[in-house]
Amino acid sequence: MVEADAARSVLLKASLAVTGLLVAVLAGGIAHALGVGAAGSLAIALGAIVGLQILVAAGSFVAKAALGDWPAMRRGPLRRWWPALVVEVTWMSRLYLWDQPLRRPRWHIEREGGTPLVLVHGFCCNGAVWAPLLDAFDPGRRSVVALSLEPFYLDIEAQLARLDQAVRAVCVESGQDGVVLAGHSMGGLLSRIYAARHPGRVRGCLMVAAPHRGTLLAGWIFGAERGPPTPQARWLGVFHASTPVPAMPALNLWTPDDNIVVPADSSAEVPGVPSRALPGLGHMAIIAAAGGREACSTALVELLAAADGRAGRE
């Protein structure tokens, strides 16, 4: 399992790097053909890569506003919602241009430690998306594994099977019989479904910006039934109709300024689970910006302490 995940992660990173290189070469080549000097062509090439990230981030906020779901617009003038866009663009650029293509996802096993922490990424991401949070968060003496579950949640049952393999592998390698799951975006929904199906292997669950009720933007990518769910996805409806209240400590973090989960309140509520709103943060900033990292770290400390205490009583 570890070797397979590593191979898939390397393949995705290579694909991201090649795509970025092609964008840079194309932009730099056009600039050079137009008579721009070498230094200017290089600057344009680098700017094109960053510009692509800005375009994607800004485009998602425009789509959110067009669909009538931008709480910041209702809070006042430009100066009140502009920071959310700037912070999201900044962190999306870093996560997609640096952390995910160039950093190795965490896979640390501690044989005699506390409850393992397993981090589950979202759509179009890999395990290195958690790098900024793990740089700032001290998990104590325990196993910490940031999974890479490419390719991208096209089939929810296939992803649940792969998550199950990973959880079992972490339990065997660490000598523990359960883990705390933390999932971002589609990884949060995946973690919630897995915890509902396998409460004996999950001691705690953190869901961050998860599309619990789907997202309207998903229909523009894969349609209703594949990839991230739309609100009309049949499998999501079946899950909600049959899912019990979580049998373990759990927390749900969400942001009303989410630019990917639209409407944002689709991620706001999980029956039987406390929810905490983090306004002013976009979809990626909620796990990477300072305020998001602090909230995630606080939630993880609570869940890990509860999980360790529960394991000690068993």
Using CB atoms within 10 A of its CB, is residue 272 exposed (0-12), middle (13-18) or buried (19+)? Answer: exposed
pTM (two decimals): 0.85
For the chain, the domains span 2-102, 107-313
The one-digit pLDDT tens for each residue of the chain (314 residues) are 444 444 454 455 555 555 665 665 565 567 657 777 777 666 655 666 666 667 777 778 778 777 878 665 455 555 667 788 889 988 988 898 889 888 999 999 999 899 999 999 998 899 999 999 999 999 999 999 999 987 666 788 889 999 999 999 999 999 999 999 999 999 999 999 999 999 999 999 999 999 999 998 887 765 556 778 888 888 899 999 888 778 899 999 999 999 999 999 999 999 999 999 999 899 999 999 999 999 999 999 999 999 998 766 66
Q: Please give the Cα distance from 222 to 215 (Å, whole number).
A: 12
Question: Which of 270, 257, 298, 261 is CA-nearest to residue 185?
Answer: 261
| CATH class of the 107-313 domain in this structure | alpha beta
Q: Please give the Cα distance from 207 to 160 (Å, whole number).
A: 16
For 210-220, b where at least 16 C-beta lie within 10 A, e where not — what string? bbbbbbbbbbe
In contact, 227 and 154? CB cutoff 8 Å: yes
Residue 119 amino acid letter = L
